[in-house]
Structure 1
Amino acid sequence: MDRRQFLRTVGASALAVSTAAVVGSRPATAHPGPFEPLGRIDIDGAKEAVVSADGETVFVAATSGYAVVDISAPDRPELLAERRDPLSDREDGPFRGLYDAKFDGDTLLVVGPANPIPGAPAGVLVVDVSDPANPDEIAFHETGFPIHNCFAADGRAYLTANDGDRNPLVVLDIDSGDELGRWSVVDVDDRWADVPPSMRSVHDVWVHDRVAHVALWDAGTWLVDLSDPASPSVLGAVSPGDPEEIAALTPRGRNRERRTPPGNHHYVATDDAGDLLGVGVESWAIEVDRDDGTTELVGGPSGVELWDVTDPANPERRSTIEPPASPDPTLGGVWTTAHNFDFRDDRLYTSWYRGGVKRHDVSDPTDPVELAWWRDPERASFWTAQYAYPFADEGVFVASSRGVDDASPALYTFPDHAGNQRDPPTLGAEPTTEPLVNTPTPTTSPSGNETAAPASETESSTSTTDAPGFGPGAMPKRPIMTAMNSTPVSS
């Protein structure tokens, strides 16, 4: 049964209307039957997933390598190829800590390590995937800095270069490995140099028409024209923050600021036209002491903000898609904060770690409508959700899960229409305190930003190398000296 036959059959019975839309949203279109995955395939170490142009092949960054999956029959995803421990023939190999991959034409880029690994290779593995079942590793562009995320378009690689100093976005020529240019928020305003690098980490990047949308954690999201990478031009910024106020925070205040909202710009993507920008905010709660001897949680998970960037110099927030509630929103608890997502036409596909995956109608960005939500918090912690392909009756989107405890990481396929999950599981035990997340009034500067966290916070401060979104110790303790070096890879 091919994908069209399969989905016509499933489409008649698989789904139901979502009644869990965001507050104030319009009702979703009804479909009979429960909303549930079409298929699933285990992939050890699964992280980011990207889809080929025809929508039938998914490439998965898998920590110790990468995998290629055929989803042309979405109920039976098939592993076409799996490559583990690339560059293992090198003295410093293998290439590992691979969390991200991106696709450009017939070329796959696999980047890493996501976080610094002393003595391990760091850079861009260039793979010819014109025959997806037989990926051909053709070059490795060594960077000298870890790469948590990247973007690929028009023969260029856009790399997050958290060097523990300026934390630039670096642009490479994919074929030659030559550096074409770089941009740092420190170039715009040298006051950002006084802000700890972990608070302005370059976490992710999205490029549309050679405009880079750069997520810089507590430094916000910056829109940079890279038509000429050697001469970047800033077009605008979303919630950039004040570098002097951030720099003035105490170590404890910095710890609080890095983990809790606002700020925490983690992932960004635009719609097809480039006019609607989604900003994914990744955050948690921390426990603080009250004056009466009890404790409360400050902060919590965050969602996806929708911004109109038709005029990049004057972005306007249209709405925010709120995250699922968590029974324990701390860093060590049940994560339901926003992670990676994808726009296609008037739809938005989102992932929320153990909070599941969702599908929204964003044709009216001021009033997003939740169309479907599926979660399995005991088995699945979703890293991304990506549109795959359409046809007359139905469509498919995919989502990768990093797994939970003993449950295997995996790639899931889902039907692309509205529906309710049958008997949806809870996300954990009900909280024992009310409210679960309560933000007390902080000590503020005249502009309203915290300059010193309350002295009674029980959460100890961490070094500036502890960067949420990356993991403890993710930011280099001292600046990394960068030198590009490109080498062919033996087949």
Structure 2
Amino acid sequence: MALESPSLRAVVLLCALLGGSCSDKQEPSEPPPPVEPWDGTYTPLVDPTDWVDRGEFAPCSFTPPRGTVIDCDNPALFDLSKCDTASLSTLEPHGIYQLDMRHNGGISDFVGIRVPQDGSTGTLDHQPLTRQQLTGGFLFSTKYTQGAFVRQVVVAGCGVPGPGLVTGCFARCTNGKVSSSGTFEAARMTWGRGESESSGGIRLLSETAISTGLPMDVYVYRQHAYVVSVDHEGSPGGLTVLDVSDPGHPILKKQIVLPGDGYWNAAWTKGDALYIASNRSGVIVFDISNPADPAFVRSVPGGPALNVHTLFVDGNRLYAVSPGPAPHGETLIFDISTPLAPALLNRFVVADTTSLVPSAHDSFAYQDRLYVNHFSSGYVVFDVKDAMNPRELGHYVFETTDSSFATSHAGAVGTFAGKTIAFEGGEYQGAHLRVLDVTDPTNIPLIGSYKLRPQTSIHNMILKDKRLYIAYYHEGLRVLDVSIPPQPREIAYFNTFRESDPGRTDDLLGGAIGVRVPGDGNVYVVDTSRGLLIFNEP
């Protein structure tokens, strides 16, 4: 006879002591069946690109045809006769909306609208609103000068098809003429899909505001968090150093701002060196032998101003990706065997020079290969075993049309079932996660994907073991189980975006923007308004 568990024996004893029967005792619950490991098989998928034409969003129109000379800011110019405008009365009188705009003919566009809770003047695409109605309707307009052009954007709601959604029509006008019009679907940037603040056991341990510029990225090293930021609304960007030895109570140790050089977008460390990506000075090197007190050492490679946007350290190599001023961006390779004295080994560019925006943006080094996100040129794989002779091995490109587009912005790479798998994502409207088999760079199939609202965008990601941590802008922090790469499975999240947070704007690229998982049991997230958020690692 099998022995009962200690807990079951305790139940039996309790029943006996109480003089009751144990005939209805609870059997121990069965553990969930184990998840079968991935065997490496998959079915290649067709890539729908980031923005997909879903057809007209609403049965309305802006009546003046293109080229008409007219003041566009007139609600009577919209035909809303087939709309359920009564449903618009259910909208709250404030909020932040992202609009997926479909021009007549299928070309895409997007704008954001913000109506403050205090009733003050809001914004549309960062410009002050000249018409603002979110009570009993959805009517907005803005008018501004851009160089030699006077531009107008006007928006009229048609109905509320579901929670958090508004559909309607819009028009764009230039110098007093109708230049374009179409329909839109707007999503309010409250938490999507009826979600709560968090799931999966994620807890917020601390929140620290960043007072220098707009925070963009964080790197955690030797119990210190190095948060970099960019110039924003008169506040210079720079570096904020926090002691995070107690993650529940970070301590500000130092702030560094360099006049005239305040666009610092990324950070990384090696040994006693802290590397900062600057859009003017290339890579700035600090000595962090005292982690709380970085000391400026030098900028590399020196010479003319150089815009470095992202960094990646792999062994004794530092890869610095620059979107310019080279015509199509470039990647620089440094030898950092002496961490405080990086030596430039080489700089190289992607072969594609025909895409709309073939701009180098980010990279990931793995097993002598460098995976470079080249925006509209796609995801490009280089052999970098010989730093003096990088070879382009292959690329994943997007089959875009006038009514679809996609970009490659960030990624992470690992080995699963003997295959080399890349997790890659774009930025801007509809951007989402792609899972690619990059084992053979000459033939890269799409094998999986993960996407939330089409009005939102992802930003950075970190692969740790079989979990992928994504900074998903308005969608906050997302944690995916990717042990079966063709089927990424969300296991936890934390919604960092709140409309009421100070500094929130109508920007599509707002919210959770940077993420690090350094292995100390915590997850570090940078939010553009809230600053540095520290969570337990679920």
TM-score normalised to structure 1 length: 0.52
2:256 to 119, 134, 141: 141
* C-alpha spacing 1:352/1:327, structure 2 compared with 1 (3 Å): farther
* C-alpha spacing 1:380/1:107, structure 2 compared with 1 (3 Å): same
1:396 to 448, 459, 467: 467
1:260 to 356, 367, 388: 356
Structure 1 residue 386 corresponds to structure 2 residue 462: yes
Shift of 1:277: 0.5
Contact 1:373 1:419 in 2 (8 A): yes
Aligned length: 297
Contact 1:349 1:357 in 2 (8 A): yes
User: Residue in 1 aligned with 2:485?
Assistant: 418
User: Residue in 1 aligned with 2:294?
Assistant: 177
Equivalents in 2 of 1:225, 1:179: separation in Å?
A: 19
User: Residue in 2 aligned with 1:79?
Assistant: 203
Structure 1 residue 322 corresponds to structure 2 residue 428: no
Shift of 1:158: 0.9
2:319 to 192, 213, 220: 213
Structure 1 residue 278 corresponds to structure 2 residue 371: yes
Shift of 1:355: 3.1
User: Residue in 1 aligned with 2:450?
Assistant: 374
* C-alpha spacing 1:372/1:205, structure 2 compared with 1 (3 Å): same
Structure 1 residue 111 corresponds to structure 2 residue 228: yes
Equivalents in 2 of 1:154, 1:21: separation in Å?
A: 43
Shift of 1:111: 0.7
Shift of 1:385: 2.6
The one-letter amino acid of 2:343's match is S
Structure 1 residue 351 corresponds to structure 2 residue 425: yes
Larger Rg: 2
Contact 1:106 1:129 in 2 (8 A): yes
Secondary structure at the aligned position of 2:284 is classed as strand
User: Residue in 1 aligned with 2:235?
Assistant: 120
2:334 to 215, 224, 245: 224
Equivalents in 1 of 2:224, 2:202: separation in Å?
A: 21
* C-alpha spacing 1:224/1:142, structure 2 compared with 1 (3 Å): same
Shift of 1:366: 3.6
User: Residue in 1 aligned with 2:382?
Assistant: 307
Contact 2:382 2:392 in 1 (8 A): yes
Secondary structure at the aligned position of 2:308 is classed as coil
* C-alpha spacing 1:240/1:324, structure 2 compared with 1 (3 Å): closer
Contact 1:372 1:420 in 2 (8 A): yes
Contact 1:124 1:143 in 2 (8 A): no
The one-letter amino acid of 1:227's match is S
Shift of 1:402: 1.4
Shift of 1:82: 4.1
Contact 1:202 1:214 in 2 (8 A): yes
* C-alpha spacing 1:384/1:260, structure 2 compared with 1 (3 Å): same
Shift of 1:267: 0.7
* C-alpha spacing 1:261/1:96, structure 2 compared with 1 (3 Å): closer
Shift of 1:150: 1.9
Equivalents in 1 of 2:402, 2:471: separation in Å?
A: 23
Equivalents in 1 of 2:440, 2:37: separation in Å?
A: 28
Structure 1 residue 204 corresponds to structure 2 residue 307: no
Equivalents in 2 of 1:414, 1:102: separation in Å?
A: 21
Structure 2 runs not aligned, ≥5 long: 1-28, 48-95, 97-197, 490-508, 511-538
TM-score normalised to structure 2 length: 0.48
Contact 2:273 2:340 in 1 (8 A): no
Contact 2:212 2:239 in 1 (8 A): no
Using CA pairs under 8 Å that are at least 6 residues apart, name the structure with larger relative contact order, 1 or 2. Answer: 1
Equivalents in 2 of 1:182, 1:14: separation in Å?
A: 45
Shift of 1:138: 2.7
Contact 1:347 1:360 in 2 (8 A): yes
Equivalents in 1 of 2:236, 2:354: separation in Å?
A: 28
* C-alpha spacing 1:13/1:128, structure 2 compared with 1 (3 Å): same
* C-alpha spacing 1:14/1:132, structure 2 compared with 1 (3 Å): farther
Shift of 1:159: 0.9
User: Residue in 2 aligned with 1:157?
Assistant: 274
Structure 1 runs not aligned, ≥5 long: 24-43, 45-73, 87-93, 188-192, 242-256, 283-300, 330-334, 390-394, 404-408, 423-469, 472-491
RMSD: 3.9
Q: Deviations 1:64-85 (Å, cap 9, x if unpaired)?
A: xxxxxxxxxx961523234243
Contact 1:17 1:420 in 2 (8 A): no
